[in-house]
Every structure is written in C-alpha cells, then in structure tokens.
C-alpha cells in the first residue's frame, strides 16, 4: 500500500514511493521516523553552499559533488541543510560516493534529518517533474476542497443563515471547534463539530485554551475598514483539539474570512437601519409624529401591517447592556429570527435607553397572545444567538396608529421596571401597572420608608432567625389568603402554617384578615424590588 501523509500534502514517504525515485532503489539511512514531513518543493544541486539557496521544506537531490571531501566540510554541509529545515536529503551513490561518509550519516542522525541513499542512477529531471506534478495536483485538490467549503458557506448565507451556521459548517470541516473573536480577544460566536460523541463543549474549550496558545492553532484575520487603513475586525480561530489541521483548512479559512467580513459588515448596516427605525419609533412614542402621517413613514421603512391593530412590544437586554459584539449582532440576529414569526414587524434599536422597540401588525385583537408568544420567542432566540443575557420582553395593548405611540412609551417603561421581576417568556403590560408606579417612585425616599414601615420587622427577623417568614407571607398573599392552598404550596401542615402566620401578625402588629392591611403588605412586598 502506498504511504499516505496528511491530506493535502506530499510527504517524504510518498515521494520515495513514486516511480521515478523507486527506480533508484532508495534506502532510508537516518530519520526513518520523520518520513511524514511535508515536501514543499524539489531541488537538485551540487553546490557546497546550496543551503543558502533553500527556504525550507525542500527535497534535495544530489550526487554528492558539493558535500566536500573532508569530514568537517561534510558535517558543515549537512548541518546547513538541517538548519534550513529541508524535508530530506537524497544522495545518489556512484559518481561521487560508493557509500555515504560516516560524517554525513552521523550529522544527519544528530539533527533528525531524513537521509536517503539511491543505489541506482536516476534522471533527477524525471524525479523533479514527477514530484512537482504531484505537488501541483495536490494543490489543485486543496483549492477544490476549499472551493467546496466556500460554496457551501455562500449557499448557507444566501439561504438566510448567519455567522453561527458558517462556524458550525467550518467546525464540521476541520473536526475541531471554531471560534469568532473580536480583535481584542472577546468571544463572539462558538461552534463545535457535530457527530463527535464525548467532544468537549466549545465554550469550555475556549475558556480553557484562550490563554495557553495551543501549538498548531489556526488563526485568520477577518478584515474590517475603519476611518483610516484596513483594520482587523475579528478573528477566526480553530485550535487542533480533536484532529491536526491541514493546509486545506488554512486555505478554506482564508476564503471563509472574506464571507464573514461581509456578514459582519451586513450586521453593521442592519444596526444602522435598526437605529433609524428606532428613532422613528421613539418619535412616535413621544408624540412627535402625526398619527395620520405615521403609516406612510412606516411604509418607507418597510412596514406594511394591514388594517388591523398594532401591538407595541419592547425588548430590553438585562441591564440594558448590548451583547459582546454590540447592537449590530443583536439587531441582525433578532431580525433573522423574526422573519419566521409570520407577522409584519417594524423593529428598531434605541441605544440611549438600551432597548429594542417593535410594532407588530395584527389581524385582530384576538391574535394578541399567540402572536406575542411567537414574537417573544423569536426575540429571545435572537438575543441568545448574539450572546446577549436573557432579555425582558413586554407586550403592550393592541391599538390603532393614534394610540400606538403611547403604547410603546408605556411598554418601554414597563420593560425597565420588569427587569426586577421573575423571568417570564413575556410580560403583559396590563399586569405591570403597579410595578410601573412603584418604579416611578423608586427615587423617592418615601418608597423605602414605606417598605421599612410595613414589613421592616419581618425583614429584620429573617436576617437573623430561621425559619424565614417572608416566603410564607408572599405565598399567602399570592393565593388570596387561602390557607389550604398556601400550606400545600409550602409543603406545610396546617398547624405549622397557622403558627407562622400568627408570628408574622405579631411581628408586624397587623391583622392578616384585614383587606387594608393585606393591600399594604402586598404593595410593600412588590415595592421591596425597587426600594434601594
């Protein structure tokens, strides 16, 4: 069986197995364990200073005329070739040497240089032509495989895919995890090869290897253009954690980098377009757009909702913070996810508020809940793709253009307040009125004083004693004072629940059956999220 090297290379072993060199009856004298070294080129020469003409990776053919007659000359000749990191030295016996000198053999062995002697004369031009033909054919095969990857990536992008899909394809092609990082090393996207049972999660790989500089890691710059000369916008990185990387992977990476540059530029353009739509929605919310002119302006922005009502929706990333790659990645990812929601959507980005406002076209008000489900799922999926922290989504009340601006304004404020609430797929703005009111009062010292006055003793108790009584009060009020349901929810027997409720009443000096007291307690518990 013909020796095989890494796909996409000609190795010393493979070169020796080709017909032209096989006719010379090659014998490997030293470096038999290094025959998988790649051959970059073939060179024939007899000059004593031939090492100065080489660049590394060559298979050098010689009859030995330039090797020298004295051992010191022979050692210097071989040492110069080894320091140039040639692939192998092939010496034809007969015209200069009947057998290889000991100085040549010993020096080659000490440097780990593959040394081959030919026992029969061969035309060096035939060897050179044959190996160069193989090199050209292999290079053509590399380019063809790289072209196939490039074509598949292009097909993915034309089909609506983005950076995650391209990275996943590239990870499958290399058999290793692939990462897209910013120029300063922040992770944007990660993908691992599919169909590899037991393979490490790519995020764990990135976290473990980002500072160790794994040898053989492939890194390709993604170009970007700033105000001056061309700059690096991002980097495609593939560490060889599962399999070694071949030259074809670097060629494919270089070609994929151009596609990724276009995708990232498109994301930037989408951000700018989303900012423009966000400015329109903000002006609408602030009453600076005439409701009669609003539909025409929205049509210019690509929004054609039909005659039904409009649903205001606002998404706010946690803390109003953009994902690692900024609002461009978020806007692009969310827009792509919303394409599958099946409803007309006008999406904007508001950087000052750190929010994403939307108007969604409905056929009728009965569609509100199912459409809100689909839109919220798309928004959260887009945020996850862009590596943003789990966002808050608030759906407003369906309205005509005349009231859509006020609905957006109310939903935006509710989304800010809802960041303190337990996570939900989406929040109904109609259930957040009290929370919005408390949010507006957050800067007032009276809110904190109100919380301290109503439930302060209970908070002080739970800070130093067990069992904590606050969860019991919250569950009791959430169930409208129904003690049997509260006991089941807390997994308590009734007597234990009665004892805890009695302790709460005594601590707070209040009657838990009094509607006014219950109202105050409920408000204080909700205000606690915002006070301080």
**What string of DSSP letters covers 258-321?**
HHHHHHHHHHHHHHHHHHHHHHHHHHHHTT-S-TTTHHHHHHHTT----SS-EEEEEEE-GGG-
Q: Label residue 356 by pLDDT band (50, 70, 90).
A: very high
Q: Look up residue 88 and give its DSSP letter.
A: E
Q: Label residue 285 by pLDDT band (50, 70, 90).
A: very high
Question: Do 486 and 474 touch, CB atoms closer than 8 A?
Answer: no
Burial of 310 (0-12, 13-18, 19+ CB in 10 A): buried
For residue 228, the model assigns a pLDDT of 43
Q: Does the pLDDT of residue 453 top 60, yes or no?
A: yes
Mean pLDDT of the chain: 86
Q: How far is CA 268 from CA 102, 188, 273, 281, 391, in A?
A: 66, 14, 9, 20, 21
Q: Label residue 227 by pLDDT band (50, 70, 90).
A: very low
Place of tokens 């030919």: 118
For residue 210, the model assigns a pLDDT of 64
Question: Do 7 and 78 touch, CB atoms closer than 8 A?
Answer: no
For residue 147, the model assigns a pLDDT of 82
Q: How many CB atoms lie within 10 A of CB 27?
A: 13
**Alpha helical stretches, state H, 321-400:** 327-338, 368-385
Distance CA 64, CA 57 (A): 20
């Amino acid at each position: 069986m013909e020796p095989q090297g890494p796909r996409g290379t000609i190795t010393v072993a493979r070169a020796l197995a080709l017909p032209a060199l096989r006719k010379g009856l090659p014998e490997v004298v030293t470096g038999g364990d290094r025959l998988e070294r790649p051959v970059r080129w073939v060179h024939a020469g007899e000059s004593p200073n031939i090492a100065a003409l080489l660049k590394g990776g060559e298979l050098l053919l010689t009859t030995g005329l330039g090797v020298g007659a004295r051992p010191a000359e022979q050692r210097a000749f071989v040492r110069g070739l080894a320091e140039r990191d040639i692939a192998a030295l092939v010496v034809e016996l007969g015209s200069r040497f009947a057998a290889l000198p000991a100085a040549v053999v010993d020096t080659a062995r000490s440097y780990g240089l593959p040394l081959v002697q030919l026992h029969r004369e061969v035309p060096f031009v035939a060897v050179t032509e044959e190996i160069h033909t193989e090199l050209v054919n292999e290079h053509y095969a590399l380019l063809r495989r790289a072209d196939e990857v490039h074509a598949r990536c292009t097909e993915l992008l034309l089909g609506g895919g983005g950076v995650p899909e391209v990275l996943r394809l590239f990870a499958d092609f290399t058999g290793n995890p692939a990462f897209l990082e910013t120029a300063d090393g922040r992770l944007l996207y990660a993908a691992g090869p599919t169909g590899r049972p037991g393979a490490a999660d790519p995020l764990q790989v990135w976290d473990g290897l980002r500072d160790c500089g794994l040898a053989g890691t492939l890194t390709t710059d993604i170009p970007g253009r700033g105000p001056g000369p061309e700059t690096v916008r991002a980097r495609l990185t593939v560490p060889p954690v599962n399999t070694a990387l071949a030259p074809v992977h670097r060629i494919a990476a270089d070609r994929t980098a151009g596609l990724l540059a276009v995708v990232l530029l498109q994301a930037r353009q989408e951000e700018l377009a989303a900012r423009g739509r966000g400015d329109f929605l903000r002006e609408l919310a602030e009453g600076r757009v005439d409701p009669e002119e609003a539909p025409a302006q929205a049509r210019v922005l690509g929004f054609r909702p039909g005659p039904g009502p409009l649903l205001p929706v606002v998404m706010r990333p946690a803390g109003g913070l953009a994902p690692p790659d900024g609002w461009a990645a978020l806007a692009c990812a969310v827009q792509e996810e919303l394409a599958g929601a099946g409803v007309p959507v006008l999406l904007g980005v508001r950087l000052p508020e750190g929010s994403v406002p939307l108007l969604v076209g409905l056929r009728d008000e009965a569609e509100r809940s199912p459409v809100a489900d689909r839109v919220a799922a798309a928004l959260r999926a887009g945020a996850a793709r862009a590596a943003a922290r789990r966002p808050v989504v608030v759906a407003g009340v369906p309205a005509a253009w005349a009231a859509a601006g006020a609905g957006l304004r109310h939903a935006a404020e509710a989304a800010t307040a809802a960041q303190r609430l337990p996570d939900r797929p989406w929040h109904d703005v109609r259930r957040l009125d009290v929370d919005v009111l408390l949010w507006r009062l957050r800067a007032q010292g009276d809110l904190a004083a109100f919380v301290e006055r109503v439930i302060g003793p209970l908070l002080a108790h739970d800070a130093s004693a067990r069992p904590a009584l606050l969860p019991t009060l919250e569950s009791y009020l959430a169930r409208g004072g129904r003690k049997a349901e509260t006991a089941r929810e807390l997994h308590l027997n009734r007597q234990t629940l009665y004892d805890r409720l009695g302790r709460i009443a005594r601590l707070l000096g209040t009657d838990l059956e009094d509607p006014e007291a219950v109202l105050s307690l409920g408000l204080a518990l909700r205000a606690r999220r915002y006070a301080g």
